[in-house]
Structure 1
Amino acid sequence: MSGNSNCDYTSVVPSADGCVGILAGFSSPGILESAFKARIEGIFSLANETSEIPGEELVFKIGKILSKMPIPFLNLSLFYLKTKTGELGYIHFQELPAFVYKNNEFIVLEKNKARYFDYKAVDLEIHKTVLKTGEYWVLISDRTHSAIGISASEFIKQFQNVLAGKNFQNSRDLILDCGRTLEQKYGKKVLETSALLAITRKTKYILFYNRAVEKLILDLFLLN
């Protein structure tokens, strides 16, 4: 990913029972933010080499490491997915919530109360849900609605209305449609530094989209 601190960082790595993923970014760029972003990338590079660890345990380990780093104003979504059961656990420090796309509509999920990652917190509050086959876990960066200049609640409403009723065959179709919809409705600059991420149990691939690197990135690791 780009070393520019003004670009979101997104990654998905395999775990012993599925995968672990992250979407992280800062509200404003700077030298300190670039340094912290490099550390986060390093943490996930190491996590990619420890695929024998269960996803939930790996999320706690990563969260514990980040808690020891005084990272202010960090938007962070960190999650694990168990392939066999569909159990999905996550922490989500953003103004925009995480979503599950099912029955042709976006469902808003519960999120942490704080907008930014609380590195001073003693314990991580992990929310849990079940991702069924054919359903999609979707993350949209806070940079998206802030670049447009509308509130998070208004963005959610517009986004849900535009994509309601669409039947996506896989995560690739979903994320491409989301990206194209945002560009057509709000302009190409909206996604210059923002990232979108979608995963599903239905396919063997994870897909995320980031205009900052000007390409689609496909993680070709098996989830079952």
Structure 2
Amino acid sequence: MGKYTVLIIDDEQEIVELIEIYLINEGYQVFKAFNGAEGLEVLANQKIDLIVLDIMMPGVDGMETCRRIRQQMYLPIIMLSAKSEDMDRILGLGLGADDYLSKPFNPMELIARIKSQLRRYFNFNLHNQLNCDDNVIHIKDLVINKNNHSVSVYNKDANLTPTEYEILLLLASNSGIVFSAEKIFEKVWNEKYYESKNTVMVHIWRLREKVEKIPKEPKIIETVWGVGYKIEK
């Protein structure tokens, strides 16, 4: 395909321009917005492949912007914040972000994470387009269609984010196998496990909110205490 398009939404002009320079040097097409409302307007008028989204912005902040995007779009979101507390990370991931980076950050690390997110997102799409056999997984009341990345449970659309979809597909495609948080991270993020378990735990929590009748009593995504998570047929 042609150039990937990245939308940067951040009220700090210097940071936006810095990220833009690095992205252009890597061959990306860049769109810029300096608040949430501007970002949503760009999304309504341009084809965007990935979003870099700051949390702390006046007006429509990053959390609300992320929530609105996730109501209608399926694309990777990397959140930025000057705060590094776990609670901010959990809130961002809980709203549907795929990754999180604290300011100040190394621009090359951000570029690496952007590449990783885009690689996973588009490689999954390509793989599913080329492999039409066994393209639907049925487990209990869960249906995963690998052709169009759709997921339904109890005959209702689950509306998963890209990362949530990939975690669910990993577990469902390996029924009965227990995956630790570390292994899920390495398989889905395609990089070595780092920092705390919060990233995977929050995504599992989000998945259960969307696919379980009673999230606190999961019947689909089971916890094997002290080991990890699994899905049984």
Q: TM-score range by the shorter chain?
A: under 0.3
Greater strand share, structure number: 1
- What TM-score comes out, normalization by structure 1 length? 0.26
Instruction: Answer 1 or 2: higher relative contact order, Cα 8 Å, separation at least 6.
Output: 1
Greater helix share, structure number: 2
